[in-house]
């Protein structure tokens, strides 16, 4: 139970966000800045995101020290990755309330007609598709998405009332504070077991989350969701799903598919993305929107959807040398496998991979190793810890030791970004495509490469 109410929020003016450089915390900071609160934040280093926040009038401290917390700060919102630091200790001494990100999200979103997207994979793209389609039709759409929507160049926006689209992040259990009108469950895999203890507890959390929603829509193709749900509104490739895509056709980087509802053809949709997983994300988005009383899904149009930054985002293209640099946030082995199946059909693909969090690597170690055997050209970077303590046997070097160089055309380990860049430029001169893969900061390698090609 959160010991801070919406009425408390209405009676304060100043909020400090710890971990403001994170995509989720930054979205909430932007929302409160738009609502005319005084917003400050802290993070350990500067990034493109924090620089944008500063340009928007938000004061960002690049240290997390006690002096950041002055007596005029009335609320702390923090990333769950930060357990305690000088700022939280000072806040407790000053009796300043502290909420984790998910708790604060529920505080500001539960008053709206809330659409919540949950699942191990595809949350960001699916919530972005819902947001994009609805904003084309209505002007009362608020959103909180775990990525920068390229169509709107932001990860959040707030309106006084109407529909609120958000990701429901299950990682720390705080998504159970959300009270959605519509809940969409994309899939379910054994993740975040450091928080839940075991997979059964995670399943129970998803089941409890669905019980808090008026309408639940779930992916009938997902075996783990199917183990806890048997009724409700479904989507998937299966013919017994309520919403299903058929006649899928790819032309270049555009996909066309027919949407069927209850085995009846509704409409052919155009999607400027490739991969069957993106088709399924779009079907899920349509199924969610179809539950709204005043929207006709025949009016939905995704043809100008520009995607989400860090989801197969084109960073740079050199036509003369035939070089392309893409960035993708895939970090769970199932996401990585789906990406690799889609892109490795093309020639001369180089994968830069950086493990994200020791706990995730530990929990999915064998699956990550299996998936990393798919590409023929691989540079494995030192892990991105995301503030976690080192776990023995769960590092990037531990993964690398399980790979056999004879299975690759090119296999190297890089201790840092500069080393990764130099490895690539020393071997590959032209006619190649690089994908940086992971939730850490390895996309900075691509920006460095772009300036050195």
Q: Is the pLDDT of residue 12 over 70?
A: yes
Residue with the larger pLDDT of the pair 254 and 94 = 94
Averaged pLDDT, 310-331:
86
**Nearest-5° Cα angle at 306, 303 to 309:** 155
Res 172: pLDDT: 86
Please give the Cα distance from 7 to 51 (Å, whole number): 32
Q: Contact, 163 vs 142, CB < 8 A? A: yes
Q: What is the dihedral of CA 59, 61, 66, 69, to 10 degrees?
A: 10
Structure tokens at 62: 């690049």
The chain-wide mean pLDDT, for the chain, equals 93
Structure token pair of residue 54 = 């500063």
Burial 338-357 (b: 16+ CB within 10 A, else e): bbbebbeeeebbbbbbbbbb
Beta bridge partners of 166: 116, 144
Q: What are the beta bridge partners of residue 350? A: 434
**Three-state DSSP class for 326?**
strand
CB 441 within 8 A of CB 325: no
Query: Using CA atoms, how far apart are residues 131 and 144, in angstroms rounded to an integer?
Result: 9
Give the residue, 134 or 277, on which the prediction is more confident: 134
Q: Which two tokens stand for residue 241?
A: 């799903």
Whether residue 319 is predicted with pLDDT greater than 90 in this model: the reply is no
Q: Is the pLDDT of residue 386 over 90?
A: no
Burial 373-404 (b: 16+ CB within 10 A, else e): eebebbbbbbbbbbebeebeebbbebbbeebe
Q: Which of 104-118, 185-199, 339-353 has the highest mean predicted lDDT (pLDDT)?
A: 104-118
Question: What is the SS3 assignment for 325?
Answer: strand
**Residue 125: pLDDT above 70?**
yes
Sign of CA dihedral 392, 335, 176, 234: negative
In this predicted structure, what is the pLDDT of residue 268?
A: 97
Is the distance from CB of 187 to CB of 225 less than 8 angstroms? Answer: yes
Per-residue pLDDT averaged across 294-312, rounded? 90
d(CA 353, CA 442): 8
Q: What is the mean pLDDT of residues 200-214?
A: 95
pLDDT band, very low/low/confident/very high, at 164 (cuts 50, 70, 90): very high
* CA distance linking residue 167 with residue 134, whole number of Å: 15
Gap between the Cα atoms of 217 and 365, Å rounded: 31
Q: What is the pLDDT of residues 321-359, one digit of tens each?
A: 888 898 998 888 988 998 998 888 778 899 999 999 899
Architecture of domain 313-450: Alpha-Beta Complex (3.90)
What integer is the mean pLDDT of 42-49?
90
Q: Does residue 162 have a pLDDT over 60?
A: yes
pLDDT value of residue 281: 96
Least Cα distance to 126 among 244, 295, 291, 302 occurs for 302
CB-CB contact of 37 with 18 (8 Å): no
pLDDT of 184: 97
As a whole-number percent, the residues of the chain with pLDDT over 90 amount to 74
Whether the predicted pLDDT of 360 surpasses 80: yes
Specify the pLDDT at position 337. Answer: 93
| Alpha-carbon separation of residue 70 from 35, 95, 156 (angstroms) | 21, 12, 27
| 6-101 to CATH, choices 3.40.190.10, 3.40.1380.10, 3.40.50.300, 3.40.50.720 | 3.40.50.720
pLDDT for 206 equals 95
Q: Cα-flanking dihedrals φ and ψ of residue 452, to 5°?
A: -125, 10
User: Domain coordinates of the chain in residue numbers?
Assistant: 6-101, 110-299, 313-450
Q: What percent of the chain has pLDDT over 70?
A: 100
State the average pLDDT over residues 239-244. 96
Q: How far is 260 from 244, CA to CA, in rounded Å?
A: 5
Average pLDDT over residues 361-365: 93
Q: Please, which residues have CB within 8 angstroms of residue 164's CB and are 6 or more apart in sequence?
A: 109, 112, 113, 114, 115, 142, 143, 144
Would you identify the CATH topology of the domain 110-299? 3.40.1190
Q: What pLDDT does 1 receive? A: 52
Q: For residues 243 and 283, is the Cβ–Cβ distance under 8 A?
A: yes
């Amino acid at each position: 139970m959160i010991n801070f109410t919406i009425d408390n929020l209405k009676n304060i003016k100043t909020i400090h966000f710890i971990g403001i450089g994170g995509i989720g915390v930054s979205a909430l900071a932007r929302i409160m800045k738009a609502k005319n609160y005084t917003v400050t934040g802290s993070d350990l280093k500067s990034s493109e995101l924090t620089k944008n926040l500063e340009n928007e009038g938000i004061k960002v401290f690049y240290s997390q020290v006690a002096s950041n917390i002055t007596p005029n700060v009335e609320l702390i919102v923090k990333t769950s990755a930060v357990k305690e630091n000088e700022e939280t200790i000072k806040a407790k001494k000053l009796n300043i309330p502290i909420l984790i990100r998910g708790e604060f999200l529920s505080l500001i979103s539960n008053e709206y007609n809330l659409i919540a997207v949950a699942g191990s994979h595809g949350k960001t793209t699916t919530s972005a598709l819902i947001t994009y389609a609805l904003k084309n039709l209505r002007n009362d759409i608020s959103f909180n998405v775990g990525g920068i929507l390229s169509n709107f160049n932001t990860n959040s926006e707030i309106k006084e009332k109407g529909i609120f689209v958000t990701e429901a992040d299950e990682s720390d259990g705080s998504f159970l504070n959300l009270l959605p009108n519509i809940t969409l469950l994309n899939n379910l895999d054994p993740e975040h077991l450091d928080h839940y203890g075991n997979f059964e507890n995670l399943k129970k959390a998803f089941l409890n989350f669905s019980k808090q929603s008026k309408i639940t829509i779930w992916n009938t193709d997902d075996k783990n969701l199917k183990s806890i749900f048997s009724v409700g509104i479904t989507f998937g490739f299966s013919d017994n799903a309520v919403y299903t895509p058929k006649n899928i056709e790819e032309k270049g980087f555009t996909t066309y598919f027919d949407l069927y509802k209850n085995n009846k053809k509704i409409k052919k949709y155009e999607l400027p993305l490739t991969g069957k997983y993106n088709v399924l994300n779009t079907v899920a988005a349509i199924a969610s929107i179809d539950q709204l009383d005043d929207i006709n899904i025949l009016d939905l149009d995704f043809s100008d959807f520009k995607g989400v930054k860090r989801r197969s985002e084109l960073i740079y293209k050199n036509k003369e040398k035939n070089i392309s640099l893409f960035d993708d946030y895939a970090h769970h082995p199932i996401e990585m496998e789906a990406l690799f199946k889609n892109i490795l059909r093309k020639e001369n693909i180089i994968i830069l991979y950086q493990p994200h969090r020791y706990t995730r690597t530990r929990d999915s170690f064998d699956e990550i190793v299996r998936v990393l055997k798919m590409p023929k050209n691989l540079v494995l970077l030192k892990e991105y810890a995301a503030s976690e303590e080192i776990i023995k046997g769960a590092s990037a070097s531990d993964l690398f030791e399980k790979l056999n160089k004879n299975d690759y055309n090119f296999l190297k380990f890089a201790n840092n970004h500069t080393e990764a860049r130099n490895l690539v430029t020393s071997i590959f001169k032209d006619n190649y495509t690089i994908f940086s893969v992971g939730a850490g900061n390895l996309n900075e390698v691509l920006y460095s490469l772009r300036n050195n090609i």
